[in-house]
């Protein structure tokens, strides 16, 4: 089937978080399954035009108030793909996207015109399809910047007055983080050009404000988020960010599909960033990585001391207040009371950066680097014994999956995708892949870290078995991509549409449209003649064997048969259309409660 990914980010061109990784990785995996997948993102200032191909001709996009926005369109292919490559399109609007930053910058963290920027982008997506004469079967939007695209599909492009190119297109909206919704003043709605009836009926209204994500949740045909447990959490008041009622209302159309990881990049057996590769059968490279890591952060070289690593954004969502808060955070007590080493790489809130810098200067077993480095993040995953993630909420989380495949045991709070990926340690059986706590507070973090350190010193066999389980886990995108295909098929079923076949309908899509306009009049007349032939009553008269069987039936049924003679010609055409396969429903994951936290320490 033809799938269009509508996103504000995609690696390697624009990235502020995990959204960019997910969009590109999912697109590649779906293309490898044989689908025709394309991505459209804005052409931001940092994306070099010289490395892209310009599609000739300006593209006009009608917006509210009679405004016609003109933009250019560039294209390229996803790098590293030789077979069925993913095509990527860039909407180039200099006023909206010719600036530093994706959503904001250091001076203006949230651009004041973000609502107009991304409403234009969502509308321009449909103009792009008309320009390249390619119409998707599935419009897959991601997060609030692309959430208005399903609204345009429902209220404009699939409306009775529309031209009809998108009549058979269905929409899916993926929530990557419900905490970010795109809320702006409602005066910006006129620019959308949808009419104020859609403001209310389409779900934009949010306490006299305009909520772009909420509108997408109302209008998309299907909704999903990035882990099954986070889907359940977002339907509760505690984690719903005021949209839990909307998600409960759309419960039948809402599910969670766990993100995967790029196993070509995050793989200890072929990682180019670590000093020596290793595998579950030969762990020598992990010990070497630990030694290099200790040296990199200026810590004492000791292979027998457990190292706890962190790669994180320093924001409240990541639990940094409970860990590094002045006078009450547990990091100081952990490093003071326990025989371990702690390492951190990250950046974020200014107060937290200062506190971490102060801890590193006062504690001999705590090392930190403010900022981000791809190489060091790989080294931390490989060289650490444990990875700490005390998140307030975590829609999916990637680092815990990176840690597991690198043989680094996660210490996590039981929330979101962390529950779906980490199995809590059981002291009696030795089962599990990590250590989990329920309540987010300094005491819980302290006790759970102490529990992990205790197991490291007193249960080394359990630790080794947990590492083996984690390293043999399957977090590849292939399994997740298959679940998305099932979601697409279920969307067609609920909309009463035929499920399109997979494959690559690229060139034929354009070729079949041109002859319709350029066909000579003689051919048109010849095509009309067969439509008039059914006026001959000879065909039904020839079917005498069937009429003999019909004589035994009641006169009413005989009359019904006469009425059904005409549909037999449409029925004769039906064998050309393959019967839609029933989509396989993904088995609903059983909610798994995290085990009760342990409070043992060394």
Maximum alpha-carbon separation in the chain: 100
**β 87-92/138-142 pair status:** unpaired
> How far apart (Å, rounded) are the C-alpha atoms in residues 144 and 173?
9
Instruction: List the one residue out of 124, 141, 134, 144 whose CA is nearest residue 222.
Output: 141
CB 214 within 8 A of CB 203: yes
At residue 568, the pLDDT reads 42
Instruction: List the one residue out of 113, 127, 118 whose CA is nearest residue 68.
Output: 127
Establish whether the linkage from the previous residue to 402 is cis, with ω within 30° of 0. no
What does pLDDT average to over the chain? 87
Tell me the Ramachandran region of residue 348: left when phi exceeds 0, alpha when psi lies from -120 to 50, beta otherwise. Answer: left
Task: Give the rounded distance of the alpha carbon of 533 from its chain centre.
Answer: 52
* Bridge partners (DSSP) listed for residue 341: 307
Residues 236-258: pLDDT tens digits? 999 999 999 999 999 999 999 99
**Main-chain dihedrals φ then ψ at residue 193, nearest 5 degrees:** 70, 30
> How far apart (Å, rounded) are the C-alpha atoms in residues 183 and 189?
11
CB 111 within 8 A of CB 103: yes
Instruction: List the one residue out of 447, 315, 305, 457 whose CA is nearest residue 366.
Output: 305
Residue 554 has pLDDT above 70, yes or no: no
At residue 82, the pLDDT reads 85
Residues 298-327: pLDDT tens digits? 999 999 999 999 999 999 999 999 999 999
Residues 419-466: pLDDT tens digits? 999 999 999 999 999 999 999 999 999 999 999 999 999 999 999 999
Q: What is the average per-residue pLDDT within 270-295?
A: 97
pLDDT bucket at 502, cuts 50 / 70 / 90: low
Residue 284 has pLDDT above 90, yes or no: yes
At residue 575, the pLDDT reads 43
What are the strands, taking DSSP E only, across 158-288?
A: 170-175, 183-185, 205-206, 209-211, 222-225, 254-256
Residue 471 has pLDDT above 50, yes or no: yes
At residue 524, the pLDDT reads 39
* Bridge partners (DSSP) listed for residue 199: none
At residue 505, the pLDDT reads 40
26 contact partners, CB below 8 Å, separation of at least 6: 5, 260, 477, 480, 481, 484
Residue 564 has pLDDT above 60, yes or no: no
| CA distances for 276 relative to 87, 299, 383, 403, 468, angstroms | 35, 20, 11, 17, 18
Instruction: List the one residue out of 228, 216, 123, 229 whose CA is nearest residue 173.
Output: 216
pTM over 0.85: no
**β 183-185/205-206 pair status:** unpaired
Q: Per-residue DSSP letters for 403-456?
A: HHHTT-EEEEES-HHHHHH-PBP-TTT---SBEEESS-SHHHHHHHHHHHHHHH
* Bridge partners (DSSP) listed for residue 366: 342
Residues 100-145: pLDDT tens digits? 999 999 899 999 999 999 999 999 999 999 999 999 999 999 999 9
Q: What is the average per-residue pLDDT within 557-575?
A: 42
Residue 514 has pLDDT above 80, yes or no: no
The domains of the chain, with CATH numbers, are 2-256 (3.40.50.2000), 284-475 (3.40.50.2000)
At residue 160, the pLDDT reads 79
CA R_g for the chain: 29
């Amino acid at each position: 089937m033809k799938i269009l990914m509508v996103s504000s980010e995609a690696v390697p061109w624009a990235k502020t978080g995990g959204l960019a990784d997910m969009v590109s990785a999912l697109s590649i995996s779906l293309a490898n399954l044989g689908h025709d997948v394309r991505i459209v993102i804005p052409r931001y200032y940092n994306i070099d035009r010289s490395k892209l191909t310009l599609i000739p001709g300006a593209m006009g996009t009608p917006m509210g108030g009679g405004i016609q926005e003109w933009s250019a369109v560039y294209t390229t292919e996803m790098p590293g793909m030789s077979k069925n490559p993913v095509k990527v399109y860039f909407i180039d609007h200099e006023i909206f996207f010719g600036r530093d930053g994706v959503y904001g910058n250091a001076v203006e963290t949230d651009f004041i015109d973000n609502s107009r920027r991304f409403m234009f982008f969502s509308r321009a997506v449909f103009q792009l399809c008309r320009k390249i004469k390619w119409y998707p079967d599935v419009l897959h939007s991601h997060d609030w910047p692309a959430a208005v695209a399903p609204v345009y599909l429902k209220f404009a492009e699939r409306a009775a007055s529309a031209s009809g190119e998108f009549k058979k297109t269905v929409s899916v909206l993926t929530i990557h983080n419900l905490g970010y919704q795109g809320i702006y003043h409602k005066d910006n709605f006129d620019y959308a050009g949808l009419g104020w009836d859609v403001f209310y009926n389409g779900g934009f209204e949010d306490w006299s404000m305009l909520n772009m994500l909420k509108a997408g949740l109302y209008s998309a045909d299907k909704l999903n988020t990035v882990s099954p447990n986070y889907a359940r959490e977002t339907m509760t008041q505690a984690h719903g960010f005021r949209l839990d009622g909307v998600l409960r209302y759309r419960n039948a159309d809402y599910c969670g599909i766990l993100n995967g990881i790029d196993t070509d990049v995050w793989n200890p057996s072929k990682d180019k960033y670590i000093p020596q590769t290793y595998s579950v059968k030969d762990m020598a490279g992990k010990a070497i990585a630990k030694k290099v890591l200790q040296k990199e952060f200026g810590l004492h070289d000791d292979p027998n001391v457990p190292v706890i690593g962190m790669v994180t954004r320093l924001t409240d969502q990541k639990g940094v207040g409970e860990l590094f808060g002045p006078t009450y955070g547990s990091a100081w007590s952990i490093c003071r009371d326990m025989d371990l080493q702690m390492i951190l790489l990250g950046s974020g809130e200014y107060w937290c950066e200062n506190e971490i810098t102060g801890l590193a200067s006062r504690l001999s077993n705590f090392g930190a680097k403010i900022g981000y480095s791809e190489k060091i993040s790989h080294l931390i995953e490989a060289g650490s014994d444990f990875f700490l993630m005390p998140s307030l909420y975590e829609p999916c989380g990637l680092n815990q999956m990176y840690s597991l495949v690198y043989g680094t045991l996660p210490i996590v709070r039981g929330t979101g995708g962390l529950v779906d990926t980490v199995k809590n340690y059981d002291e009696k059986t030795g089962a599990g892949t990590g250590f989990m706590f329920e309540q987010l507070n300094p005491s819980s973090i302290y006790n759970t870290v102490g529990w992990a350190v205790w197991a490291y010193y007193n249960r080394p066999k359990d630790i080794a078995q947990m590492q083996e389980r984690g390293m043999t886990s399957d977090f590849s995108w292939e399994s997740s991509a298959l679940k998305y295909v099932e979601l697409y098929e279920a969307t067609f079923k609920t909309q009463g549409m035929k499920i399109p076949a997979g494959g690559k309908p690229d060139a034929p899509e354009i070729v079949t449209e041109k002859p319709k306009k350029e066909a000579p009049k003689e051919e048109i007349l010849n095509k009309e003649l067969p439509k008039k032939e059914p006026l001959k009553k000879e065909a039904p008269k020839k079917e005498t064997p069937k009429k003999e069987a019909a004589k035994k039936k009641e006169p009413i049924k005989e009359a019904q048969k006469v009425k059904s003679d005409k549909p037999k010609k449409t029925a004769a055409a039906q064998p050309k259309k393959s019967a839609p396969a029933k989509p396989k429903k993904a088995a609903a994951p059983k909610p798994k409660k995290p085990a009760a936290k342990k409070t043992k320490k060394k």
